[in-house]
Amino acid sequence: MEAVKSFYDTPVPARFTGMLSWLITLDHKRIGLMYLFAILFWFLLAVLLGGAIRLELMFPGENIMHADLYNSAFTLHGVIMIFLFIIPALPAVFGNFFLPIHIGADDVYFPKLNLLSWYLYMTGGVIAIVSLFSDGFPDTGWTFYVPFSISTNTNVSTAVFAAFILGFSSMLTGLNFITTIHKMRVKTMGWLQMPLFTWSLYATSWVQLLATPVIAITLVLVMVERFFNVGLFDPARGGDPILYQHLFWIYSHPAVYIMILPGMGVISEIIPVFARKSIFGYKAIVASSMAIAIAGSLVWAHHMYTSGMSDTAVFVFSLLTFVVAIPSAIKVFSWVATLYKGAIQMTPPLFLSLCFIYLFSVGGLTGLVLGAAGANIHVHDTHFVVAHFHFTMFGGTGFAFFAALHYWWPKMFGRMYDFKKAYAAAILVTAGFMLHYVPMFVLGLQGMPRRYYDYLPQYAAGNFFAGFGAMFMILGIGLMMVNLFLSFRRAQISDPDPWGGVTLEWTVPSPPPVHNFVTDPDVLDYPYDFSGVVAGAVNKSRRT
Amino acid sequence: MSDIINPVVLVDRSLYFIIGFSFVFLFAVTLVMIYFVIRYRRSRHPVPADIRGNWKLETAWIFIPTLIALAMFVSGWQAYSGLRTVPEGALEVEVIAQSFSWIFIYPTGKETENELKVPVNTPVKLTITSADVIHSLYIPAFRVKVDAVKGLTTHAWFLPENPGEYFLQCTEFCGVGHADMTGVVQVVSREEFDEWVADDGW
């Protein structure tokens, strides 16, 4: 098997060598990696912006920046993290790379559309940069609430246009994945033999396809309002600002499930592999993914209890919010139950997954506080909310992204990183994370509003500790990235299955060849059947 | 005024109930997870069991959390109803939010800026609107928060039971002066308030 060429050595015409061969590639694996590097760039930039915000807040009064720069910093942090990192992170990188392999296919159904999505993503990113350097940084928060976003003089239109373009990238990726899953599965693989990561991408893709057009419409309306002063949202011209909030959250609440569902999928892959045991309740996890996608689309106005909408609406949206909590709880129970009587091997991806379960649970449980109508009124728009969504989005999706990087790194690059440094980084990030965000829960309960440049003296202690934790966290992220990239100085690994996984990506060489499969792969009757791996492991230990 | 239930009590009850439950739940899940990882580590437990599900257990962990979630919803709804139902005989104060201060207008026509003076043990009803962008009035001590939107009137009420000074803040991002858009609620005796509100000042 030594003559297998990896996808890095794709034969290309002489005119298209080097970088150019990547820029015109239709290979899903290459496109996945191109997303990976672009996304890592944005992620690290937004991390530094977040660090600057925390540094400013570490002490009362002005420390490192003015109020207007601070307002731009949290806006950019939010916009970049949401639209350029969390939404595309797992589907665009790992979905592109592994979804076709997971279902025994050679590529996605529309490879050209896939490349177009990448170009749209890059275009959106470039426009976002342009918005920074012309007419001043946008300063509205990532929510672009009207009428403020219409009246401010900063460059909101360009930033909004960037988000609009990025939306198309997201929609087309969703469309591509849905079609791929329906049409490209190897013939022997039924729906209930698909890996759970693929299932979670399937649920996510539907939300991407159906919810993203709403934000596209909304952002166009904001631009129309800014350029032509029509009076759609601006009450001074007879418009309705609450309409904007509804339209915004009809997309942006489902969007949080676009962000978290693939993360849950990653965890559902990693836990069984290192427990060497079937996932507990496969069908329940599949059903929860779909239930979250559907019910999660019906709870948007729980961001608006204080907005002035009717009490009846508050009742309905609060009730639905508690309904959507259940499928997430089911997943947590299933992951923990999977560990029961397993043969658990601790590795960096598993460690990060366990951190995910803990941090995501905190995020989910504090979401219950926010879902309850009366309790929400006290903590709405405070640091409590900020801590809550960082626990779900960063402790959840972010940690799933880290876990996925560590889990699939040897497959994508054919190199293994150093475990000790990986653990040290994971511990540093997690400990820093807790010190960073737990004080923010307390600050929120004490009443410190979000997006505050300065604060009353009673909030000083919490902000100091949060800033301290943020610095640890950033150090940890830096160490993690350095450690992963140092793996390129190590020898190529030869084992296609270093972890003992049973999904199809572990049957192909690391890194995979240009054509994923020479012949149709054998599909397991039950997708998480580890009996073969267990038997193999026992044989191995007998031999040695 | 002792027959009025202060919604602060209801909100806090809901907060304590949900947060208290969350701590127990988180502790239990984390403890079980860590126990499994240590107890079933590969060096000690090399041959895994093959358990793919258990419908009884799965049904239980659908139904029990559903019941708990519904109880949380009810506690939240009760607190919300308390915050929304204004008792009879409340002092009515109009609030106009503007970038970046709060204007309070009393029934006597008296106006103040960033200073809301109210008599102790009297419910206060706030009728709120905005002169420009969206703001949000937040008085943490009374668990009151409601958006101020131009072209729309919203309301909130609270019952100050102890004299003293409490702070109020803007919680809807409104621009460069957002963090400075704070004010004070002064709860004073009935006599002091009556004297103050009758005197239209300068």
Domain extents for chain A? 8-543
What would the two tokens of residue A442 be?
């307390």
**Environment class of residue A28 by beta-carbon count within 10 Å: exposed (0-12), middle (13-18) or buried (19+)?**
buried
Contact list, B78 vs chain A (CB under 8 Å): 374
* Cβ-contact A464, A58 below 8 angstroms: yes
- Does B2 reside within a domain? no
| Residue count (chain B) | 202
Categorize the per-residue pLDDT at A240 as very low, low, confident or very high, splitting at 50, 70 and 90.
very high
pLDDT at A544: 39
pLDDT score for A543: 44
Sort out which chain B residues have CB atoms less than 8 A from A445's CB and list them.
15
Q: Nearest CB to B72: which of A336, A368, A526?
A: A368
- Expressed in angstroms, the distance from the first to the final Cα of chain A is 24
**Is the same domain home to B106 and B28?**
no
At residue A187, the pLDDT reads 93
In angstroms, how far is CA A235 from the centroid of its own chain? 35
Residue B170 maps to a domain: yes
Put simply, whether B44 touches A (Cβ < 8 Å) is no
Are the C-beta atoms of residues B99 and B175 closer than 8 Å to each other? yes
Weakest mean pLDDT among A124-138, A182-196, B81-95, B154-168: A124-138
Mean pLDDT across B118-142: 96
Q: What is the mean pLDDT of residues A510-534?
A: 91
| Domain harbouring B71, CATH code | 1.10.287.90
Q: Which of residues 492-531 of A touch B (CB under 8 A)?
A: 526, 528-531
Boundary (domain end) residue, out of B37, B60, B84: B84
- Nearest residue, CB atoms, A368 vs list B22, B133, B176: B22
Percent of chain A residues past pLDDT 70, beyond the cut: 98
Convert B80-116 to b/e letters by CB count within 10 Å (16 or more is b).
Answer: bbbbbebeeebbebbbbbbbbbbebebeeebebeeeb
Q: What are phi and psi of B187, to 5 degrees?
A: -100, 115
Name which of A15-19, A483-487, B117-121 the model is least confident about.
Answer: A15-19
Q: Determine the residue of chain B that is closest to A139 in CA distance.
A: B175
pLDDT at B202 (0 to 100):
53
**Is pLDDT at A154 greater than 80 in this prediction?**
no
Tokens linked to B70: 């519904």
Residue B196 has pLDDT above 80, yes or no: yes
The answer to which of A29-33, B110-114, B196-200 has the lowest mean pLDDT is B196-200
Strand partners, B103: B96, B113
Give the nearest chain A residue to B22 (CA atoms).
Answer: A365
Q: Which of residues 7-66 of A touch B (CB under 8 A)?
A: none
User: Per-residue confidence at B117, pLDDT binned at 50, 70, 90?
Assistant: very high
B181 shares a domain with B126: yes
Q: How far is B53 from chain A (nearest CA, A)?
A: 5
Task: Say yes or no: A212 contacts chain B, CB-CB below 8 A.
Answer: no
pLDDT at position A195? 96
What confidence score (pLDDT) does residue A535 get?
86
Domain boundary among B31, B50, B84: B84
CATH of the domain at B162: 2.60.40.420
Share of chain A above pLDDT 90, in %: 79
Q: Is B52 on the interface with A (CB under 8 A)?
A: yes
pLDDT of A3 over the 90 cut? no
Same domain, B103 and B180: yes
Chain A residues within 8 A of B7 when measuring between CB atoms: 374
B122 within a domain of the structure (yes/no): yes
A72 interface with B at CB cutoff 8 Å: no
* Average model confidence (pLDDT) across chain A: 92
Structure confidence at residue A541 (pLDDT): 53
Q: Which position has the higher pLDDT, B174 or A536? A: B174
- DSSP letters spanning A284-329: HHHHHHHHHHHHGGG-GGGG-TTTT--HHHHHHHHHHHHHHHHHHH
Shortest CA distance to A292 belongs to which of A366, A206, A369, A217? Answer: A206
Residues B78 and B116 in one domain: no
Residues, chain A: 544
How far is residue B115's CA from residue B186's CA, in Å, rounded to a whole number?
A: 7
A112: left (phi over 0), alpha (psi -120 to 50) or beta: alpha
Is pLDDT of A327 > 90? yes
- Answer whether residue B61 shows pLDDT above 90: yes
Question: What's this model's pTM, rounded to 2 decimal places?
Answer: 0.95
Using pLDDT thresholds of 50, 70 and 90, give the confidence band for residue A540. Answer: low
Q: Residue A468 pLDDT more than 50?
A: yes
Q: What is the pLDDT of residue A20?
A: 85
For the domain made up of A8-543, the CATH class stated in words is mainly alpha
Residue A297 to residues A216, A257, A325, A371, A503, Cα–Cα distance (Å): 16, 9, 13, 15, 30
What's A56-93 look like in SS3?
A: HHCCCCCCCCCHHHHHHHHHHHHHHHHHHHHHHHHHHH
Which of A126-135, A533-542, B48-57, B130-139 is predicted with the least confidence, judged by mean pLDDT?
A533-542
**Same domain as B104, residue B164:** yes
The answer on pLDDT for B2 being more than 60 is: no
Partners of B170 in the β-ladder: B137
Supply the pLDDT for residue A9: 83
**Residue-range definition of the domain harbouring residue B26:** 7-84
Quick one: pLDDT at residue A493?
87
What is the distance of C-alpha B21 from the center of its chain? 19
pLDDT at B150: 93
Whether residues B68 and B144 share a domain: the answer is: no
- Would you state the structure tokens that stand for residue B77, as one six-digit string? 């709804």
**Residue B44 pLDDT:** 94
The structural domain count of chain B equals: 2
User: Which candidate, A172, A204, A168, places its Cα nearest to that of A83?
Assistant: A168
Residue to test with chain B: of A146, A280, A322, most B Cβ within 10 A:
A322
Reading the block at residue A179, the tokens are 């079609």
* Both structure tokens of A285: 């996890």
| Chosen from A240, A344, A376 to mutate, greatest number of chain B CBs within 10 A | A344
CB-based contact (8 Å) between B140 and chain A? yes
Say whether both B50 and B120 belong to one domain: no
Contact A120, A80 (CB under 8 A): no
- A469-518 tens-digit pLDDT: 999 999 999 999 999 999 999 988 878 999 999 999 999 998 999 999 98
Please tell me the number of Cα atoms within 13 Å of B32 on its side-chain side: 17
What does the pLDDT read at residue A10? 77
Arithmetic mean of pLDDT, B98-123: 95
Two tokens, residue A286: 């599949």
Q: Please indicate whether residue A203 or residue A538 has the higher confidence score (pLDDT).
A: A203
Q: Please tell me the predicted confidence (pLDDT) of residue A536.
A: 82
Residues B80 and B95 in one domain: no
**Interface with chain B: mutation pick from A75, A356, A378, highest number of B CBs within 10 Å:** A378
Residue B42's pLDDT is 94
In a domain, B1, yes or no: no
Whether residue B127 sits in one domain with residue B171:
yes
On whether any CB of chain B is under 8 Å from the CB of A346, the answer is yes
Instruction: State which of A65-74, A126-135, B146-155 shows the largest mean pLDDT.
Output: B146-155
Average pLDDT, chain B: 94
The answer to whether the beta carbons of residues A155 and A137 sit under 8 Å apart is yes
pLDDT, residue A159, reads 85
CB contact under 8 A, B144 and A377: yes
Across the range B117-131, mean pLDDT stands at 96
How far apart are alpha carbons A424 and A428 in whole angstroms? 6
- Based on the fold, state whether residues B180 and B112 are members of the same structural domain: yes
Boundary-marking domain end, from B20, B55, B84: B84
* B74 and B104, same domain (yes or no): no
Q: Rounded to a whole number, what is the distance in angstroms from the first to the last CA of chain B? A: 34
User: Are B77 and B98 within one domain?
Assistant: no
| pLDDT confidence band for B81 (50 / 70 / 90) | very high
